Amino acid sequence: MLNIQDILETNRMIQENNLDVRTITLGISLRDCCHSDPAVFCDNIYRKITSTAADLVRVGNDIEDEYGVPIINKRISVTPIAIVAESCKTDSYVEVAHALDRAAKKVGVNFIGGFSALVPKGYTRGDRILINSIPQALAETERVCASVNLASTSAGINMDCVKELGQVIKMTAELTKDRDALGCAKLVIFANAVEDNPFMAGAFHGVGESETAINVGVSGPGVVKRALEEARGADLGTVAEIIKKTAFKITRVGQLVAREASKRLNVPFGIIDLSLAPTPAVGDSVAHILEEMGLESCGAPGTTAALAMLNDAVKKGGLMASSFVGGLSGAFIPVSEDAGMIAAVEKGALSLEKLEAMTCVCSVGLDMIAVPGDISAATISGIIADEAAIGMINNKTTAVRIIPVPGKSLGDYVEFGGLLGHSPLLKVNTFKCDDFISRGGRIPAPLRSLTN
């Protein structure tokens, strides 16, 4: 039997603490769309996406109305384009990106992910074409998101690709400099990428997935912070318990939405991604949870420990609430998308180096980091290599979404708008790593025992 307190608590979470379902992402396999003629291929993928996802937005809106819980985004992920476009007789996939963009606009989703290549060990012809197409594709399209997986615990790090992507990111920034290098906000570089991630910009529909799948990303940093406000001074074991219970409740909402979306769209339920995803809105910040635990500012000593506990407790609480869990699952720390992170950078409490340490214990990596436009491609590659190494050695997903903003320097701000937020530029260590990056080659896969 329902009791009034539970009902009022649920509605308070939604109305006052920004509880929402961050995304329903429909994964679609494009493996049956291959064709040697690029025009036919583009036509195939457009038809498949627009027919499969025709009802996605309507169903998402219906569920939102019926249950009274906001569903912020409806999105699509597709099979990595480097794989399915490989048999096309062409040397550029920019047209493919346009076809994806048209399909996204037709069905009304705000992002489509999967302009991707998976190259931890090396390239195929399709991988090379895709990576070369990224800058122009992201500059000319609005809703297409790109990602490259260049390292894994089982394969090592593809350092040739690390080097190349430093240049790709610089070029993407240059081609979108009129929009504060917005193109780079749609490009994620992964180590140990997962195949069922519902979150953008890194979502793609992995080759091990079913024909279609519904993956749901939940959110609710504000709900966790509110719960902790009622336990000020309690010991950390108690704090972990509160986070677990709150994560359970948040995830239950995601499970309900995923189940309904799956039933109404007649698409198998894939996974719930147990993530705390912040937004720039006040009261929706992961940094503020860490501060509620007792830090003067996110970035202070103790931040990594607090984040580690938060991340672990969210998973423990969420696991019980859902039949299938996957994706990235953990607290996100995207700087420009989190009001508390932005404030911490502004007051000098949070540095790139501290963020790097934080990525060792949470999902996902150096995310939405705006840096001065004059940093070199090799320095960007060095940052990617460091992050990939953390992922490779620790057997976890890590990612880099870095935005070198042309014409801007320390003290300047960037404004991406909407969920992508705004941010002051972060300071980058400018000692050079050019000779290390220019070596190229591959860092071998690490030991998986003797791991001290």
Partner 1 sequence: MKVVITVVGRDKVGIIAKVSAVLADKGVNILNINQNILDGYFNMVMIAELDGSKVPLREIQKALAEKGGEMGLEIKAQHEDIFMLMHKV
Binding residues for partner 1 (CB under 8 A): 2, 4, 6-11, 65-69, 248-249, 252-253, 255-256, 320
Residue 64 structure tokens: 């939102």
Alpha-carbon span 338 to 397, nearest angstrom: 21
Find the angle CA(388)-CA(392)-CA(397) to the nearest 5 degrees.
75
In terms of Cβ atoms closer than 10 Å to its own Cβ (0-12, 13-18, 19+), residue 435 is: exposed
In the complex with partner 1, the residue whose CB is nearer, 275 or 336, is: 275
Strand ranges for 88-206 from DSSP E? 112-118, 144-152, 156-158, 187-191
Q: Least distance in Å: CB of 252 to partner 1?
A: 5
CB of 7 to partner 1, least distance (A): 5
Interior/surface letters 409-427, b for 16+ CB within 10 angstroms, e for the rest = eeeeebebeebbbbbbbbe
The total number of residues written for the chain in this structure: 452
Q: Give the integer Cα–Cα distance in Å for 107 and 75.
A: 10
Nearer to partner 1 by C-beta: 65 or 296? 65
CB of 278 to partner 1, least distance (A): 21
Min dist CB 5 to partner 1, Å, is 9
Amino acid sitting at position 23: T
The smaller minimum CB distance to partner 1, of residues 69 and 405, is found at: 69
For 316-351, give the DSSP string.
HHHHTT-S-EESS-SB---GGG-HHHHHHHHTT---
- Minimum Å gap between C-beta 247 and partner 1 is 12
Min dist CB 321 to partner 1, Å, is 8
Return the amino acid letter for 96: V
Closest approach of partner 1 to the CB of residue 254, in Å = 10
Minimal distance, residue 112 CB to partner 1, in Å: 28
- Residue 281: both structure tokens together: 């809105």
Q: How many CB atoms lie within 10 A of CB 67?
A: 16
Other Cβ atoms less than 10 A from the Cβ of 238: the count is: 12
